[in-house]
Amino acid sequence: MILNEVLTEELLQQAAAELATALIDSLPPPNECHHKFSDGFEEKMQSFIKGIGSKCYTVAIQDSVIHK
């Protein structure tokens, strides 16, 4: 636990970058990944990918978040 230390934006960004690097380094190389997804999953993904360009997704952000 961090005592008497302020978590600045810079410190949080550095921690996030270090975590991302550690996670990526823990993964096997792509040529060692041989997972076969089910046909049903593949069909759902294709439908989702085709729909991305034709549908509008709305994200709501609270006004209090925008105007700090």
Task: Dump pLDDT digits (tens) for 36-68.
Answer: 999 999 999 998 888 776 655 566 665 555 555
Integer Cα distance of 47 and 41 in angstroms: 10
Tens-place pLDDT, residues 9-39: 888 999 999 999 999 999 999 899 888 999 9
Which pTM value belongs to this model? Answer: 0.42
